[in-house]
């Protein structure tokens, strides 16, 4: 298993300065799906194995991005910030808290 760290705007809809508006919900979901899929494909190509783990830096996710990542095949979700480390494992279409470490 490997950890994939995404550093993109996935917590909410992005501002589109050329259109002077925020993304629609559909545009947001498509962008997040494209970003996560591209990252997954690159990691699988570079590592030569399936990628089912993702680390959300500084807990930067959203319910929508979590759902999209799940649909793309991610099963293990790591949340890391300067106070704790948390792991969620997705099995049989429900989520369990597996590990929480505070420091």
Instruction: Read off the pLDDT of residues 42-79 as tens digits, 9 standing for 90 and up.
Output: 999 999 999 998 887 667 778 888 899 999 999 888 77
The answer to the question of residue 1 being in a domain is no
CA dist 55 and 88 (Å) reads: 10
CA dist 31 and 25 (Å) reads: 10
Is the overall model pTM greater than 0.85, yes or no? no
CA dist 45 and 95 (Å) reads: 28
What are the tokens at 95? 């989520």
What are the tokens at 25? 């919900």
Q: Which domain holds residue 66?
A: 15-102
Whole-number pLDDT of residue 84: 55
CA dist 20 and 55 (Å) reads: 32
What are the tokens at 48? 């030569």
Number of domains in the chain: 1
The answer to the question of residue 9 being in a domain is no
The answer to the question of residue 10 being in a domain is no
């Amino acid at each position: 298993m490997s950890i994939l760290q995404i550093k993109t705007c996935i917590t909410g809809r992005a501002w589109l300065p050329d259109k002077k508006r925020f993304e629609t919900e559909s545009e947001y979901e498509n962008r997040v799906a494209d970003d996560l899929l591209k990252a997954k494909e690159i990691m699988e190509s570079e590592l030569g194995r399936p990628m089912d783990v993702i680390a959300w830096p500084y807990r930067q996710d959203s319910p929508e991005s979590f759902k999209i990542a799940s649909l793309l095949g991610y099963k293990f979700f790591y949340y890391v910030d300067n106070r704790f480390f948390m792991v969620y494992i997705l099995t049989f279409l429900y989520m369990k808290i597996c590990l929480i470490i505070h420091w």
